[in-house]
Amino acid sequence: MKKILLTLIIFVSSGALLIAQRPSVISPEVHADNSVTFRFSARNAKRVSLDTEILPAPVKMTKDDSGVWTITIPPAKPDIYPYSFWIDSIEVNDPNNTYLFSNEGFKHSLVDIKGDKPLVHSLQNVPHGKLSYHTYNTAQGIAGTLIIYTPAGLDVNGKTKYPVLYLIHGGSDTEETWTKVGKANLIADNLIAQGKVKPMIIVMPYANTGLMMSKAFGTDMMNNIIPFVEANYPVLTDRNNTAIAGFSVGGGATLNIGLMNLEKFAYVCAYAPYTQTPEFKTNFGNWSPDIETYNKKLKLFTIYVGESDQYIEIVNSSIKLFKEKSLNLETMFVPGGHTWMNCKLFLATTLPQLFRE
């Protein structure tokens, strides 16, 4: 998108300008029919494979005389997919691709198959909101980072107040995963421009995996993050204008934080929630809620999951628990696994349902 290929010169090492010392390859190359060619230059490697979330298993690549390993995979449904290369027994991201998965535990590359028609997460020529990166004081220190989406045309005088969604990433993700991988800002831009979604503020905190599995992140959310947002942004602070959503371990945190703080949240939306955590057990192990109050207060309570999600059994057991308690839970099962392709779909399904009254 924003990369111009310089075939003769490559910039390396802190902006240094050098004549290319190894074959310059284009990877990934998305073709007009949505097939994709991946390339990796490694003359001395014995075996190179491509590992994508497009194909069900890694596939071997073939080396040509110049030492470049190549594979072209069949047309795929337009979307943004993670991938990596396995060089002998080492996994690497694609050195020729700028677009990386934001994560602390792995560093996959991403291939964006745009297709002919704009998708709900595509960069379109509509008014764009902005993302603000904040450093805020967490209970654990001063290193917390928070990304806040504000919609296009935000009233700079602060007279108009907006509803707010707290949106939590998955295990080992970072505060940037919902925007750089999940395109939450572009999804909101597009759906707001279409009039399908109310202009809202979306708050994406850094949520450490370890802390999310205990009570610590929820405490940080209630005591630090929400007060910071309410002090610094024109947000409506009542429960009818406050939602929480999250994926995977962040989906588990969403259930813990949302359902335990009904005085703050009227919308609780969990995507493939991972709930095998001490905190979930503490909250829901011997839970005897006042169901009538819950069903009255929860304007939206959803669990969405991919049918082939590796945690499908854990998710189903959580669904069972809430259904047995007769909570008004809406579920959605879609094809696919525990992926950010599905996260984008889940978010685009949730946003139009929020703050509608």
Among the listed residues 30, 55, 100, 236, the single contact to a second copy using CB under 8 A: 100
Residue 107 lies near a second copy (rule: CB under 8 A): yes
Among the listed residues 66, 132, 317, 326, the single contact to a second copy using CB under 8 A: 132
Q: How far is CA 346 from CA 163, 320, 350, in A?
A: 19, 20, 6
By rule CB under 8 A, what string of x and - marks binding of each residue 26-65 to a second copy?
A: ----------------xxxx-------x------------
CB of 294 to a second copy, least distance (A): 27
Contact status, residue 107 vs residue 100, Cβ threshold 8 Å:
yes
Instruction: Give helix then strand counts, H and E, for the chain.
Output: 9, 19
Phi, psi of 29 (to 5 degrees): -115, 110
Cis bond leading into 205, ω under 30°? no
Residue 88 lies near a second copy (rule: CB under 8 A): yes
CB of 299 to a second copy, least distance (A): 27
Among the listed residues 12, 26, 139, 291, the single contact to a second copy using CB under 8 A: 12
Other CB atoms within a 10 A radius of the CB of residue 145 amount to: 15
Angle at 215 between CA 226 and CA 294, to 5 degrees: 70
Q: Which of residues 238-267 bind a second copy (CB under 8 A)?
A: 247-249
Q: How far is CA 130 from CA 149, 153, 190, in A?
A: 6, 10, 13
CB of 223 to a second copy, least distance (A): 18
Residue whose CB is less far from a second copy, 298 or 305 = 305
Read off the amino acid at residue 202.
Answer: I
Segment lying near a second copy (by CB under 8 A), choices 104-112, 218-226, 262-270, 317-325: 104-112
Residue 310 lies near a second copy (rule: CB under 8 A): yes
Residue whose CB is less far from a second copy, 102 or 302 = 102
